[in-house]
Structure 1
């Protein structure tokens, strides 16, 4: 079976979110992260549906009441009770492809908590759990490869952008060589070109340099990327080297990519122990007719929005404050997974559940 990996700008049925458990890592910040997730839901529901995995019936009813009060249309919201470990739907959610007949298929990769750093057993089972709950309108195909959605970017035309630090990390698939990883990616995604970044990282990032924290396809010819303009910042050399790599990459026709630099926010530090947090504007989410952009209460927020307005001239840009999100070492894109047209079952709005 030949598949094609869909780019994020492909028309969507909705997005997937995973609501935090009251006893999970978000417990000290629960009210703050819930407020951020509520803003994501309300912004997204203007354009498409939102599927939310919730930890229990109490949370489900509370959210149904909350979003009803916020005038979120019932047909745009689906809540499903499911056991989870954490909130990072980008990495435990399904990766969508289409076959040669145009049929959507959800590829369910192995998720190990970014190389065994954190518990992930329940998150790893979530896509199949949702299939059993009737959430999907298309088949699910399991994969043994350890892979997270935040680790890959595609132009939708046979090119994949990723980082060596993540996909070639021995904590993911230690028995596979680069050639073997590329072969698996080619088979699963229909890609015949892999652009590997050897440089680039963010302090405080648990993902081993996920590409969605560093560089993103905006369309088949445009890549937005983070640029550090402070020579005294410890990220400066690696991100400058990454910029040179991006400048050397070529499209299939031999032309260079149109590169859109994103600004470097002021350093953010955890108020508890002072470690640096991974604030990045590259962690935006493309939905139907809009782009949700993480902001950090920083003067660079406006510069980032202006830069992305150039990259997405036909989209509405919606800022989402993500200061609390980076406290758990992710940002907006990490919390979400887009669900292309043909993947999401209609179901019964706000009432579907499996326990």
Structure 2
């Protein structure tokens, strides 16, 4: 009996890959490092972090920055390995329970359908020393593309999983069968609408709609009919309302952040749905804009015993991702 573990399953900690001059963060490196230190500060007070960096020089730099920030390093595990970029959500392992034992699944990562080089990212899980079994799959699948309630239901988008740049040889029925068999899910809830401008992932569900617990879905809501996102996000909202009615779920709308733009004038994919659930907290990306507090309040109302901790992730959207995208939770016993 297999079960795809939800994000709130007891965790060992979180996987991160450090931004450096050889990643796409070169033009925003100082800001990116500050953001990562903020993430570490929000994590290390209550759980472990497996932080991958590229070489000894960076290993020493991280230790120095962590000490200067006054962070305790008892729960920080630094590992030297190579990678293309820092999107741990999409190349990190997924976790399942198989007949009561926890296992890790290593899916194929192709840089979101071949948009970017990803060979070293794809090889990273095999370079790390796990205390749990790690099983490799040829199926192209990113962690940000799927979410689960832990009760056998998988939430995803057709625009991503059915995109011909992922698994073109598979029909939807064949893909569904593989996901059900490998992840142990019973039903797949497909969304046909919803995508953010500037998103390289072809509508990862973790930018749009997320389980907060088994009965609660938080999602991005656009109320401005003049916003370019309104038609698609409004139709997604209707899809979610239908799902919620049929499955007796609580929906929590999160505001679409005040529009954020790059220096070149491109709209960036800011989203509050890209939060990370840990053992004691919900780390919420914020962007230094007027909608931040409404998002904090909305998520706090359904956080249960967890504390909502805002982390300024404005720099992360410069590379078209956010907080959930750069983190991958690891189940208890992983290391």
TM over 0.5: yes
Matches within 5 A, 1:261-300: 261-271=253-263, 273-300=264-291
User: Contact conserved, 1:33 with 1:324, CA < 8 A, in 2?
Assistant: yes
Query: 1:202 & 1:129 partners in 2: Cα distance?
Result: 33
SS where residue 40 of structure 1 aligns?
helix
* Structure-to-structure mapping, 1:146-161, within 5 angstroms: 146-161=140-155
Q: Which has the higher contact order (CA 8 A, sep 6+)?
A: 1
Out of 172, 182, 191, the position equivalent to 2:176 is 182
1: CA distance, partners of 2:213 / 2:120: 34
Structural mapping, 1:344-355, within 5 Å = 344=335
1:171-320 pair list within 5 angstroms: 171-250=165-244, 254-271=246-263, 273-320=264-311
Residue pair 2:244, 2:251 contacting (<8 A) in 1 also: no
The residue number in structure 1 matching 2:25 is 26
Q: Find out whether 1:124 has 2:116 as its counterpart.
A: no
Residue 48 (structure 2) aligns with: 49
Partner in structure 2 of residue 35 of structure 1: 34
Partner of 1:347: none
Name the SS for the 1:311 alignment partner.
coil
| Helix, strand or coil at the partner of 1:28 | helix
Per the alignment, residue 79 of structure 1 pairs with 78
Deviation at 1:250, TM superposition (A): 4.7
Cα distance in structure 1, aligned partners of 2:293 and 2:209? 19
| Contact persistence 1:90–1:148 (CA under 8 A) | yes
1:115 aligned partner: 113
Report the Cα offset of residue 72 of structure 1: 2.9
Name the stretch that deviates more: 14-23 or 68-77.
68-77
Contact conserved, 1:15 with 1:51, CA < 8 A, in 2?
Answer: yes
Structural RMSD (CA): 1.1
1:250, 1:40 → 2: CA distance?
32
Q: Is the 8 A contact 1:20 1:55 kept in 2?
A: no
Matched residue SS, 1:293: strand
Shift of 1:144: 0.3
Unaligned runs of 5+ in 1: 345-355
Q: Deviations over 1:76-107 (max 9, x none)?
A: 0001110100000000101111110x221110
Aligned 8 A contact 1:24 1:86 in 2: yes
Deviation digits for residues 172-207 of structure 1, max 9, x if unmatched?
Answer: 000111111111111111111100000000000000
TM-score, with length taken from structure 1 = 0.92
Q: What corresponds to 1:89 in structure 2?
A: 88
C-alpha contact 2:313 2:322 (8 A) present in aligned 1:
yes
The residue number in structure 2 matching 1:65 is 64
Does residue 335 in structure 1 map to residue 333 in structure 2?
A: no
Q: Tell me which stretches of 4 or more aligned residues in structure 1 moved more than 2 Å.
A: 68-75
CA distance in 2 between counterparts of 1:74 and 1:300 reads 34
Aligned residue runs from structure 1 range 5-20, under 5 A: 5-20=4-19
Deviation per CA, 1:152-184: give whole Å up to 9, x if none: 000001000000000000000001111111111
In structure 2, what is the equivalent of residue 351 of structure 1?
none
Which of 133, 138, 150 in structure 1 is aligned with 2:132?
138
Q: Say if 2:109 and 2:142, in contact at 8 Å, map to a contact too.
A: yes
